[in-house]
Chain A
Amino acid sequence: MAEKTVLSRAQQANPPTREDTRSQERYITPPVDIYETADGLVVKADLPGVAKGGLDVRVENNLLSIRGKANHAAPGEPIYREYGLANFYRQFELSEKVDQLKISAELKHGVLTLNLPKAEEAKPKRIDIKVA
């Protein structure tokens, strides 16, 4: 899976702005795990502070985009900061072999899990050998 965004320093107090759109919006590149199973690919992304309503996952032109809006009201005045919660953004280019209609997503404990099933024709097939 090729990545379309440059992996930058994630989770820092002053995240960089998104360069490709020249927007002033600050965003964080979430760390991800991507691994292959027999049925397809699994993508896991850490999106702390993002609720279901603030999450936008879409596939367009073989591009998988993950956008998350951290929606967390600070309970008081900050006196010491180690992180800033900005919007999350990351993009990946999908292979043709992913069945894009069957992608499923789950958000639990701040971790987004995407299941990208392989298309039927991409699954390995066992070929029976006939013994004459």
Chain B
Amino acid sequence: MAEWNPFEGMEALRREIDRAFQDFGLREEPAQRVAFLPGKGPRRYPLINLLEDKDHLYIEALTPGVNPQSLNVTVLQNRVTISGEKNGSAGEIKPEAFHRNERASGKFVRVVDLPLEVNDGGVDAEYQNGLLVLTLPKAEKAKPKQININVA
């Protein structure tokens, strides 16, 4: 059995506090505005929700204004990569013509590590009203097994 070391506990606490304050300043800005800024919003676009039911995992990603043709989803074991491009309003519009320019735009890649393995053959992706919904069937070996109890 390891000896109790009070300094170890303090070090762990300090690290935890550091982690809690790590992205303190970032939270002040809306996610959209920093989403494509290099260094500020790395790998945080699109925002996702992860859901599950008995046989599937679902990833819902907020991708308004992203052309579904530009979206690219790849699945390898338990790693999902979503990439694409969001087109902004800019282009032929002169910068001085803008009254407000809050919708960030650019190319994005996001890698999501799933908590369990999925069957990458049966993945289904649907884009509707600016939401991307991925349906990922859980791999057979990742599903919980019901064990019957024999009563003697």
The chain A residues found within 8 Å of chain B, CB to CB, are 1, 9-12, 31-37, 41-42, 44, 46-51, 72, 74-83, 109-111
Contact = CB atoms under 8 A, between A and B. Distances in A.
A31 B48 CA distance: 18
A115 B40 CA distance: 33
Contacts of B31: 10-12, 83
Interface string B90-118: 00010001111111100000000001000
Given A75-B58, A79-B52, A79-B115, A110 B129 contact: yes
A11 B99 contact: no
5 contacts: A31-B33, A33-B100, A49-B129, A50-B130, A74-B51
Contacts, number: 128
Contact of A110 (B30, B47, B65, B98): B65
Contacts of B65: 44, 46, 109-111
B119 interface: no
Interface residues of B, number: 43
Contacts of B52: 76-77, 79
Contacts of B102: 31-33
A80 B68 CA distance: 24
Given A48-B64, A76-B56, A9 B100 contact: no
A76 B53 contact: yes
Nearest to A110: B130
A105 to B, nearest CB: 15
A50 B129 contact: yes
Nearest to A41: B99
Nearest to A72: B131
A109 B66 contact: yes
The 9 A-B pairs with the shortest beta carbon distances in the complex, nearest first, are A110-B130, A110-B64, A48-B130, A76-B53, A31-B102, A80-B50, A76-B51, A46-B64, A34-B99
B72 interface: no
B47 A11 contact: yes
B83 interface: no
A78 B50 CA distance: 6
B50 A83 contact: no
Given A48-B64, A76-B57, A109-B129, 15 more contacts: A11-B32, A11-B62, A34-B98, A35-B99, A36-B99, A49-B62, A49-B129, A50-B130, A76-B56, A83-B31, A83-B62, A109-B130, A110-B63, A110-B64, A111-B65
